[in-house]
Amino acid sequence: MKRIKAGIIGTGFSAMSHLEALNRLPNVEVVAIASSKLAKAEKVADNYNINKAYGHVEDLIGDTDVEVVHNCSSNFLHFPFNKDVLQAGKHLLSEKPLAMNSKESSELVELADQNNCVAGVCFNYRHFPIVKQIREDLLYGQQGRVNLVYGGYVQDWCLYQSDYSWRMDPEKNGSSRAIADIGSHWCDTVQYILGKKIVEVFADLKTIHSTRKKPKAEVQTFGKSDGSDTEAVQIDTEDYGSVLVHFEDGIHGVFTVSQVSPGRKNKFYFDITTDHATYSWDQERPNRLWIGQRNEPNRELVKDPGLLSPEAATLAHYPGGHQEGWPDGLKNLMLDFYTSITQKDGDTSSYSFASLSEGHRIMQLIEAILKSHETKRWVRISE
């Protein structure tokens, strides 16, 4: 089998997660990595036996050996690098957000349509076996009509005033933080499960720390500063938010995001209620699905290929009792994306990864949430 040659932009948490997932695929070879600091790229290349390290992203995109580019750079660089990759006619998997605003993301959708390449956005929670199982159950109406969805995504890494990273800077991260960084995952995953779009939102956002202590030395996301040399900076992006949502077909819902909830490390959860059951999932316990019923005993389905639907079982690579988690969901995304490249016939609708069009609509959704908070009213998502 011909090996597909990939290049990765970035050396931070997302880039390393992509690299480790790609190293688990049988038909992909990472041949290049780029960073704004050549020494960082060279260190990663040496550790992972990658042939080429670049200090300029343009050199990686222009490398004729690189067929697929993974854009794991900082948010404000997503749009220009994504644009360059698409214009070079190469396959693209971008970390979210797709761009800094919907005007930019719309341009990327048009570029992707014009070029003969596969392009997607890294919304990895779609690719857990239990998530797929819920989607299959609801798709075939096993529990009746969906009525209500609620849940959230809560963390604690921004709890203290001394917590700071580049994600606090709107010029680098964008005008939204908690909603864009983690709320986007909740919205994408639930929309994917339901097969329904969010069409209207009403938002209430809050910034807990109006100023933070910014270290004068660089700190990575989830990193810690020693606090010895800092400066006070104003914070305008939200630490917390709750959003009422209306989906297509009259489904109502609500979700809460927080990056200031003590003890919550990465709790992404939802309940989906139907006429006959409630489906409840928590990604910190990703191998279990709680199914609640009124007139029968509640039950719990575990991740076991023998118990899942055929479609969901394809995402479970180990027998029941052998736990799979966050890195395995990311691996499943990569498998889905690269299968679409090897079997490309111009139609990616049969694959599960988020398209650029879906990434663009998430940008529109984020902007609608910000507008709703500002105006204190319901806002419809633009088509």
Residues 150-187 have pLDDT tens digits of 999 999 999 999 999 999 999 999 999 999 999 999 99
Residues 6+ apart with CB under 8 A from 84: 57, 58, 61
Dihedral angle, C-alpha 31, 36, 37, 42, nearest 10 °: 0
Q: What region, left, alpha or beta, does residue 321 occupy, with left being phi > 0 and alpha being psi -120 to 50 degrees? A: left
Record the pTM: 0.94
Q: What is the mean pLDDT of residues 285-306?
A: 97
Burial code (b: 16+ CB inside 10 Å, e: under 16) for 114-149 equals ebebbbbbbbbbbbbbbbbbbbbbbeeeebeebeeb
pLDDT at 349 over 60: yes
Complete domains list, the chain, with CATH: 4-122 (3.40.50.720), 126-334+362-380 (3.30.360.10)
pLDDT at 48 over 90: yes
Contact 272, 146 (CB under 8 A): yes
In whole angstroms, give the CA distance from residue 195 to residue 117: 25
Would you mind telling me the total number of residues written for the chain in this entry? Answer: 383
User: Would strands 198-206 and 379-380 be described as parallel, antiparallel, or unpaired?
Assistant: antiparallel
Q: What is the mean pLDDT of residues 276-285?
A: 97
Query: 99: helix, coil or strand?
Result: coil
pLDDT at 221 over 70: no
Give the pLDDT score at 346.
54
pLDDT higher for 217 or 135? 135
Tokens found for residue 197: 């779009």
pLDDT at 225 over 60: no
How many other C-beta atoms are found inside a 10 Å radius of the C-beta of residue 351? 17
Give the pLDDT score at 347.
62
Which residues, listed in sequence order, are joined to residue 373 by a DSSP beta bridge? none
| CB neighbour class for 156 (10 Å; exposed up to 12, middle 13-18, buried from 19) | middle
Give the pLDDT score at 217.
74
